[in-house]
A and B are shown apart, each in its own frame.
Chain A
Amino acid sequence: MGRYIMGRLVQSLFLLIGVSMLTFAIIQMAPGGFAQMVGENPDATAEDTARLTALWGLDDPIHVQYLRWAAQMVQGNFGNSLAQGRPIAQMIGERLPATIFLNIIGLLLIYVIALPIGIYSAVKQYSKFDHTMTFLAFLGQAMPAFFFAMLLIYYVGMQVEGIPLAGMATIGVEWGEVPFMTWLADRSRYLIMPLSVIVFGGLAGLVRFMRASMLDVIHQDYVRTARAKGLSERVVVFKHTVRNALLPIVTSLGFAFSGLLGGSVVIESIFAWPGVGLLAIQAIFTRDYPVIMAFNLIGSIMLVIGMLVADILYVVVDPRIKY
């Protein structure tokens, strides 16, 4: 087990080195680069451009530039934003809690709602409930999240009083400054819209996945044996089937989290949720390359950690797998 985890850690490290190289390479393909952006400034003279090129080491060979950048990254120094001039680590650090807050609640709700539906669908395969849910899941997978968000804003948000359509909190309602219940009520109101869209977006896929995984297990011989020896349906389903059917779902958790991170770019920009997604889209518009590079790296670090945790969990929860 220890050796397995070590092996996977080393593998993840190489993966992240690959990611940093790819990200660096894509940004290098940008026409012009930093120095030329200064050149677009009408007040900048040729000397200014040359001075900045020398200052930033832009005339060094490409591998020297990469290594210099990578060495900074390893030390946790993501550099400064071109647009705001502030340290990127600080900018992302400020925004991360809002995104994680939204996504963790979203992820929890998705699993709490989707798993029972998937399980029940599979147990009652081809029933009216199963057909309806499968159909709805199919519709859900084809529905663009932003279109769903627009419809929700128009038909619910604009009709019902007291549902905020943008932001995360009312100004002045801060933790510790108002009674806890007031704080909780305020945060909950702001969560309604973005959370509904996140949950809607993740639900369909997971229901189908859970149902398929359940059906795989339910047709196994040992489930038939359990039935044959007269165990109650409840014991067969919950003790023998669900526990095994949940194994592949555990693996999906790692991907689910980083998937939400990408999806929250759209949701945060619709609801002006002050998280990293909103920052990412601003960076794209201003071509703030250092910020974009930092995003790719942080995104992949989260994905790689997610996969690593999922793999280890898989070994822990499934005694059939030994390393």
Chain B
Amino acid sequence: MFENYSFLARYWSLFVKGVETTIELAVISIVFGLILGIILALMKRAKNWVIAILAKMYIGFIRDTPLLVQIYIVYIGLPIVTGMDIPDFMTGVVALTFYSAAYIAEIIRSGIESLPTGQSEAALSLGMSKRKVMTDIILPQAFKNILPALGNQFIGNVKDSSLVSVLGIADLMFAAQTVRGSTALGLQPMIVAALLYLVITWLLNIILSHIERRLKSSDRVA
């Protein structure tokens, strides 16, 4: 377990590429997941029950089926639905976006509902439109409250992205598998991958807690 790491000299660049791809997957999918998640959260709160039920069904489907199954559904279904040849990386991004959006929608909904109703009443009573109340008053406060949960989701995206390696996307997991294949080493490449995942999530944790602290302090500072 602690020896035979000489393969790194030859294959390190594969791992670096893998780390890059993993981070790209996680970042792009969290950004689009956030956008889709906000839309889903608002749909679920809509007065129109058809819209609300659609959002509920979507969120239920994503949360109650395995990500690996969803990845295959997107992989096979997306070219059929769009009639286009979709690059594997894009397929991975779409699958991870669809997946994380459902969880983010629930996080945002709880963030909106945790705000006192007085906030939207005060904003409405100033003559603001419902849309402005949402974008200017509710969402910024909700976002601040849910930042820790969103951070966890982001870290979840980093880890979950390892599953898209089944599509042949050259992420960190794929790099480890490739090295395993060409060196006949069993455990070592996986340990390298695990350590690299750890470093990524550890760094993310540091950045996120830093942002959280800064946002918290803005509530108090005179």
Chains A and B are bound partners: no
- The residues of A with any CB-CB pair to B shorter than 8 Å are none
- The residues of B with any CB-CB pair to A shorter than 8 Å are none
